[in-house]
Amino acid sequence: MTLKTPQQYIDDIRKMKIDLYMFGEKVENYVDHPIVRPSVNSMAMTYKLAMDPEHEDIMTAMSNLTGQKVNRFTHLHQSTDDLVKKIKMQRLLGQKTGCCFQRCVGMDAFNAVYNTTFEIDAKHGTKYHERFVEFLKYVQDNDLAVDGCMTDSRGDRSKSPGEQPDPDAYVHVVDRSKDGITVRGCKMHQTGLINSHEILVMPNNSLKDYEKEWAVSFAVPLDTPGIVFIYGRQSCDTRKLEKGSIDVGNQYFGGQEVMAIFNDVFVPWERVFMDGETDFSTMLVERFAAYHRQSYGGCKVGVGDALIGATQAIADYNGVARASHIKDKIVEMCHLNESLYSCGIACSAEGRKTASGNYLVDILLANICKQNVTRFPYEIARLAQDVAGGILVTMPSEKDFTHAQIGPMIKKYFIGKSDISAEKRQRMLRLIENLTMGTAAVGYLTESMHGAGSPQAQRIMISRLINLTHRKNLAEKLSGIQENKEVDWQ
């Protein structure tokens, strides 16, 4: 089997027996938990669209490892066309779910670990690449969702992993045996982690020679003994526990962030893809970050499309859609959103083939893409709230609207345009609230800021990659400060 149906995917994770905690209590049936289920639905959409002939071209690809059709989320990019289709796929899913659909991190990790292990083996004579290829074949053959796991708890940010008072601040190896390694530590902000079949761990940052224990990459099934999961709290999350449907905003979908604690977890050698090669930690981190920063030029644009649509709808419902300043604000939202998409396409189209054979995005342009993503969605959200009006945050609850005594009075004064029901206006405002302030805002705004690295991380990469000397030379030649030998016809 290569492609799973949404139901087969849900049946898979329902079988998982994991140690998950939420609100101070252990959760047994997390798949059907009202707070978790919307995020499961989002992940399931990555399976549903892959089965749809209309979207087959961008949702699936032919595996270079098995020769079989696979879900693009498990694919190794074989061309710049693959990189572009990735962005188009992510935009489509953002439009369909209106939130984070959680499977991108694993896809980006696959491609980074694949080409980095190839180069580790070439230098050190190790067998990591061979191991990883076998793991990825297993993932593709079974259409598995894999969580790319990078961000550590990090302790004192002024100290590197080997300088921390508590070495567990970064995931590290605590024991080695003939059968494998044992690891300890914590990974934070893990998007879609408990909705995944497997976890693919990578080091968090560049490492020094003496920090070999922290230079570790491996994969384990979600239900591996010793892993404890704590579900992340999100704004307005308990609305999903209330009866009714309107106040949650997004009726079907949601994101997910999880903390994962590794308490002396055993990993067999065939699942270890880096163990002590500190000289390649920077390459792995930077390549993964580049792929993931590219991703934001697709997924956040798709969610932006949904928010722009909601803003147009509420303008119609409020009777202000023809006002010139409203039109101008919505045009600006579209301009910002398409600018992000342009960056995602540009860094994809300018990609290059790696030594391993898969394709890597243009790293500079990927960082430019993500730098813009740390800003533009916030402005898009601000404009959406501007157009929506103050009622966005003062609207009564769904229970008030349905109350026998006060409900009719609320509905009477909640009418905008006479041909639009109070409920339509209510639902659209809740969706805008969800996208800009509620649970979806985690995947749209906060993730835009901190996902794939904070804004400063991109600025550091831009400063490293931009060639200012070349640009200075261009100016000096044009101004006559330097001799311009290219003007040989004068």
Binding-site annotation: residue ranges for FAD: 191
- Which two structure tokens, joined as six digits, stand for 422? 């109070």
- Bridge partners, residue 26, by sequence: 21
Report which residue type is found at 75: H
Q: Cα separation of 69 and 83, whole Å? A: 17
Which spans in 319-403 are helix H? Answer: 324-349, 363-373, 376-388, 391-394, 398-401
Residue type, 81: D
Paired sense of beta strands 25-27 and 198-201, if any = unpaired
Q: Which of 289, 293, 287, 267 is nearest to 151 (CA)?
A: 289
* Cα 84 to chain centroid, rounded: 17
Please provide residue 148's backbone torsions phi and psi, each rounded to the nearest 5 degrees.
Answer: -80, 120
In contact, 152 and 185? CB cutoff 8 Å: yes
Paired sense of beta strands 216-221 and 272-275, if any:
antiparallel
| C-alpha–C-alpha distance, residues 110 and 133, integer Å | 10
Beta carbons within 8 Å of 478's beta carbon, 6+ residues apart: 484
Distance CA 185, CA 227 (A): 10
How far apart (Å, rounded) are the C-alpha atoms in residues 311 and 323? 14
Beta strands in 2-94 (DSSP E): 19-22, 25-27, 60-62, 69-71
Q: Which residue, among 291, 290, 389, 377, has the nearest Cα to 337 in the 3D structure?
A: 377
Q: Which residues are catalytic?
A: 100, 104, 191, 257, 292, 296, 299, 447
Question: Which of 397, 236, 409, 392 has its CA nearest to residue 317?
Answer: 392
| Nearest alpha carbon to residue 373 among 402, 344, 330, 396 | 344
Q: What is the separation of C-alpha 424 from the centre of its chain, rounded to a whole number of angstroms? A: 31
Provide the phi-psi class of 182: left if phi over 0, else alpha when psi is between -120 and 50, else beta: beta
